[in-house]
Amino acid sequence: GKTAPRLLQDLLTYDARFEQRAGRNLLTSAPPHFDPQSPPQSAVPSRNCRHTLKRKDEQTHVPQPADEFKEAVIYQVASFCSKCRWHFDVALAHYNDGSKNLPCRKANVQFPLHHFLFDHDDRQDDARTMVFTCSAPQCPAGVQIRVTPPRLDDADIHLLTDLTVLRKRWEDAKRIAGDRADASMARRIDAIDFLNTYLQDSLTPVKGKSRIPLLNRKFLKTFGRDCDAILTKLGFTNAVELDDEGAASEVWHLPTPPTARYPDDVAEPTPTARTLVEDAHYELNTVLLSFEENERSALRRPPTLPTSSNPDLERLLGCTDYEKVAGRATRSTNHEEDHPYYAGLGTVGDFADRLLLFAYHRQVSVDPLNAPYYFEGLHNIAVGRDSELLRTEVAVLESQGCCTRKDVTAAYQYIGIEQKLIGTINDEHIINVFRSRLSDISPVALEETRRNLRVIGHARKSEAILRAASDTIETYEQALSWLDLDATAADDFVRTMFTIKTGDNPANRDTARKAVGIITEHRNSQRLRDFLTNGEMADGEMDVAEAYAILGIDDRTSTLDLQVLASTAEMLKQAQPDSEAKYTEALTLVQNDQKKSTSNQPSRPRHPPATWPVGCSNIGNTCYLNSVLQFLFANKKLREKVLNCEAHMQNLAPEALAKKRVGREAVTRKKVERGQTSFIGPQLPPQALHGSKPPSPADSAMGDDDVKSDTNSMKAMDLTDSAIDTKPEPPSRPPPIPPRPQPTEAAEFQAAEAVARQQDASESINRIFDLISCAFEGDGVLDDDEQDDIIKELFYAHVTIVRMNSETGQETSRASQLQDAITITLTDRTRKLYAALDTEFALDEAEPGVIKYEFIQQSPPVQIIQVRRAQWVEGTNFRDESYVALDKVIYMDRYKDSTKSLSREQLHDLREQKWQLQIKLRELEKRRRILKETEFKVKDDHLSLPTVLEQTAAVVESLANEAAASDAEAMETIEAQANELSNQLRQRAQELHPQIEEVERQMSQLEDEIDNVFAHCKDHPYRLHSIFMHSGNAASGHYWIYIYDFQNNTWRKYNDEYVDECKEEDILKRIEGTNVGVSTGIVYVREDLAEEYTEAVCRHLPYGANGEAEDTEMKDLSDYGDIPVINGVEESTIKAE
């Protein structure tokens, strides 16, 4: 924003002629931030005209000095510059809508000046109108600045005044008129003088002075025939007339502008033909004054000296007598400039201290993100002026948390966020980065970290960040956020997250208890009250995951002996008789789950083990994870690196982690350890259930056990002997003060599974990618300091985002970013994959006045395409089940910057053809949405317009029947009217159905036309490799994946533990129905790397004496003897299947 004096000063230096070259509009764009480290730059481009504005009396309407501005009256000061001859019409109006009834003025202590914000601009022909509104909450003022180029440009003036041109025109006149031609050529000033006289005569018409014969000696030599365009532009008309003798003669008629109506007859100063003539008259008057006085002798109408419009502009904008600093005059707009900090605050250099403070608070109010810059400017001005008032105010603001850009930059660096990412990340991201560091820093560093987070919170005006910095939790929403929960989380998950939070960082215990307490009171949950009081919770509804945890079973994928399982449960009941019902229920759930497992069904594999992939058991809503793991395992390069992970592990030394960046974040030691332990091989073979020891109770950690469980380690324990003799000891009594719940394996497993329920395949892929990148040493550093590694090499594209001015089409910025997937939207209709991708790479509006497009600078070998199925509209979550048609091979040429066959310019030309077709496509999409998506819903589905009409017809008939039944006399009339209305509604519905079909046909045709634009672009082929599938709805469902085996030319369906061959046509065809399987992720592999980078079958099995692959025999722990164990993994462990 900017105050009225600043707006006026910017108006006096704004030059539309050089705006595009300067890259900014002095009136509407924020001034560039001052950089003390860079060389000083002029705020106004040197070419810009420093305007001397003169008033156009006929178009100006301002109240008298003693009068007030009236509501709903549009006042205007019309001006033109006597140097460049551009026109500037500034209009102001007060519109009181009831709440805006207190204009800014000097007597208003709180708002002594207008503070204007740019709203929008309009273009009409050559004129441009910029609209501003006052930011004061009760001020009704709005301002429009209309900028118009000269009516007579430099070429016109040259044509009228150049001596060479005038001489040639005189020669032409002598050829046309012969002896009747004038004996001397016209003077340079004559055309300006004559034209000025003609225009004045047209404004005050006099009978007999409305026509000029072409053969008039002075007119012919002065204007001839080569000035026709100028005359026509100004409103002159040409005609052929007959004289008294019947001879034809060519004449020019003066313009006939309408009479002046503003402000007496019309309220709004709308430009008319009269405005054009008046403007040209003022320009000609100015040109006349530019001639030497001796040349101005013998003019028909001597020029008048125009009046400055500055006083009227100051009066209009309410800044006639604003308070100024003592001893300082206003800067000359011709020579001197104020310090850039003044422009940043929207002020000028002669502002009094009180007005500077006013401007500062207005700027911060309307633009809080740049508050540090505004505070920095105020602070430096206070020092420069040595003002006690400003120094005092700066000190008060500092005590309230205000800071400079330098402070904010240092705070971001301390937290671990790079400067270039500040504008692209949200508050939640910053809070998560802060919390991720808490477990790795000392208590002393913790307070400094919080202080820096407070600086960021104040800079961003973010209550959420400030709460995180102060660690205060007061509301239910804050409590849920601190525990990383949402409102749908069950009480059991509240307890689980309490355990995880306090286990990761014991210092969080008091805060965690407060969070749980707030949730307890909000939900009025007795179970959570019991947990806070004695560390225990009454049983809720048990699920399979909890049942396994209660019985102490960590590996739910293993086959359990059901008799041993029953014996174990019986021993647990004897040890804790009070929990008999719980163990009985857990036993029943586990037995049923084991019976359903294929591992308990003695049947031979349907395919040879050595040549067929292995499925993954679903251990509780992990179908999405099974699909992701199968996809990653089929990637040969990634699989080999993970299976040989020891050779690539990240060094944990602090100096090795200092510059490691993954996902734009600094990587802590804890993150690396989490990534490295997440894919170290299987644990030891089955424990107690395959031996004799009953597992310890799941909640035994709540007792007074001195042995702390190491849940983050896979270290082996010697259970061979003690497994039989040791009996679990129940806790003696609940402790009076709840201890910190130990993060037992069961609790961690339950927490992990609960988190899993909230994820889908795409989220899981992203998490796994980050884990692998954290765990492995990088292969280098990318441009944005992101670690380069196998994940970036295989899956990440380098995408360039180009931003352009929407009006000029000029490129304003270009930025690159890494992108692990392309996300497409189907917009609730069947589409080809190309069509959906084209939408993502379309030319779109980024923000008002800015458009952008993207292209792929470097394509990855494996291109993941995510399909945005989950949609959230008007508070309703639903799944878009639209079909996307897939090709076996796609060509990524159209999304690249250049190809082998096409240069950057050639490909951009094709891209522009696509954009033009997409404009038509968007118009059809709007029409389709109107026809197919009304405000009426049934089960959260929008009804189409034809359906609404048909149902309305049914309602009309039903109401008519009810009315007829109650009024027998009017029955026939009611039925006749109802039938007529319902028939009309149904007829209209029938007419709309084919309209919808026609719109969709046209859309498909346009998409085909776009394909044809790129039909010859086939330098970058990608082959279809895998398809993630989901059936169900937005809230629940089931995942599986199809993967193509390039080595064996086979499609397989991986559905948890089942892996079956399937036909390609069955995979790619469309299936009708509700909750059917739809693709959520599509993966293509670069054609030349498909067989090298993927391998669906990778089996390493032991072979028997007959040379055939044998199944691995499961053994008890005691059978393993003294096998050496390294970090929980046997050296003899078979490679993962």
Q: What is the DSSP string of 414-448?
A: HHT--GGGGGG--HHHHHHHHHHHHTTS-HHHHHH
Q: What average pLDDT does this structure show over 307-311?
A: 95
Cβ burial, residue 258 (10 Å; 0-12/13-18/19+):
exposed
Residue 344 has pLDDT above 90, yes or no: yes
Beta bridge partners of 1062: 1051
Pick the closest to residue 1056 from 629, 632, 633, 616 (CA basis): 616
pLDDT at 735: 35
Report residue 607's pLDDT band, with 50, 70 and 90 as the boundaries.
confident
How many Å from the N-terminal Cα to the C-terminal Cα in the chain? 64
Helices 526-534/509-523 angle, 10° precision: 150
User: For the chain, give me the number of helices (H) and strands (E)?
Assistant: 38, 34
Report residue 1121's pLDDT band, with 50, 70 and 90 as the boundaries.
very low
Structure tokens at 722: 């003690």
Report residue 691's pLDDT band, with 50, 70 and 90 as the boundaries.
very low
- 716 within 8 A of 1128, measured Cβ to Cβ: yes
Taking the C-alpha atoms of residue 465 and residue 208, their distance in angstroms, rounded to an integer, is 79
pLDDT at 583: 83
**Residues 817-830: tens digit of each pLDDT:** 899 999 998 877 78
Report residue 211's pLDDT band, with 50, 70 and 90 as the boundaries.
confident
pLDDT: is 208 or 779 the higher one? Answer: 779
**Residues 656-680: tens digit of each pLDDT:** 888 899 988 888 888 898 888 865 4
Q: Which residues touch 749 (CB under 8 Å, ≥6 apart)?
A: 545, 548, 549, 554
Residue 1082 has pLDDT above 90, yes or no: yes
Residue environment code for 496-508, b if the CB has 16+ CB neighbours within 10 A, otherwise e: bbbbbbbbebeeb
Maximum mean pLDDT: which of 173-187, 319-333, 433-447? 173-187
Kind of pairing between the strands at 862-867 and 822-824 = parallel
Report residue 595's pLDDT band, with 50, 70 and 90 as the boundaries.
confident
pLDDT at 21: 78
Q: What average pLDDT does this structure show over 95-102?
A: 80
Beta bridge partners of 250: 240
Look up tokens 């001839």; give the residue: 224
**Residues 990-1048: tens digit of each pLDDT:** 888 888 888 888 888 888 899 899 999 999 999 999 999 988 776 667 889 999 999 99
Residue 284 has pLDDT above 80, yes or no: yes
Beta bridge partners of 645: none
Residue 690 has pLDDT above 70, yes or no: no
- DSSP 8-state symbol, 308: B
pLDDT at 654: 87
pLDDT at 381: 93
Instruction: Reduce the DSSP state of residue 145 to 3 states and report it.
Output: strand
Sign of CA pseudo-dihedral 1112, 1117, 1121, 1122: positive
Domain ranges in the chain?
2-151+308-322, 154-296, 403-534, 544-598+622-775, 796-902+1017-1093
Pick the closest to residue 496 from 744, 208, 664 (CA basis): 744
Pick the closest to residue 864 from 1024, 665, 995 (CA basis): 1024
Structure tokens at 355: 């007005």
Q: What average pLDDT does this structure show over 621-650?
A: 90
**Residues 358-387: tens digit of each pLDDT:** 999 999 999 988 888 999 999 999 999 999
Any idea how long the chain is? 1137
Report residue 1131's pLDDT band, with 50, 70 and 90 as the boundaries.
very low
pLDDT at 468: 79
**Which pTM value belongs to this model?**
0.48
Amino acid identity at 1087:
E
pLDDT at 884: 92
pLDDT: is 127 or 41 the higher one? Answer: 127
Could you give the angle at the alpha carbon of 779 between the alpha carbons of 777 and 781, nearest 5°? Answer: 105
Q: Cβ–Cβ contacts within 10 Å for residue 97, how many?
A: 7
Amino acid identity at 297:
S
Structure tokens at 155: 């070429």
**Residues 165-188: tens digit of each pLDDT:** 999 999 999 988 888 888 889 999
Provide the CATH number for the domain formed by 796-902+1017-1093 in this structure.
Answer: 3.90.70.10
Above pLDDT 90, what percent of the chain? 37
Residue 68 has pLDDT above 90, yes or no: no
- DSSP 8-state symbol, 119: E
- What's the chain's Rg over C-alpha atoms? 40
Maximum mean pLDDT: which of 89-93, 587-591, 1036-1040? 89-93
- C-alpha neighbours within 13 Å on the C-beta side of residue 666: 23
**Residues 1090-1120: tens digit of each pLDDT:** 999 999 998 876 555 455 555 444 444 334 4
Taking the C-alpha atoms of residue 211 and residue 226, their distance in angstroms, rounded to an integer, is 19
CA 399 to chain centroid, in Å, comes to 34
Instruction: Reduce the DSSP state of residue 920 to 3 states and report it.
Output: helix
Q: What is the dihedral of CA 909, 913, 914, 920, to 10 degrees?
A: 160
| pLDDT mean across residues, the chain | 81
pLDDT at 1048: 92
**Residues 468-512: tens digit of each pLDDT:** 787 667 788 878 877 878 777 778 788 888 887 777 667 678 788
Structure tokens at 625: 């994870």
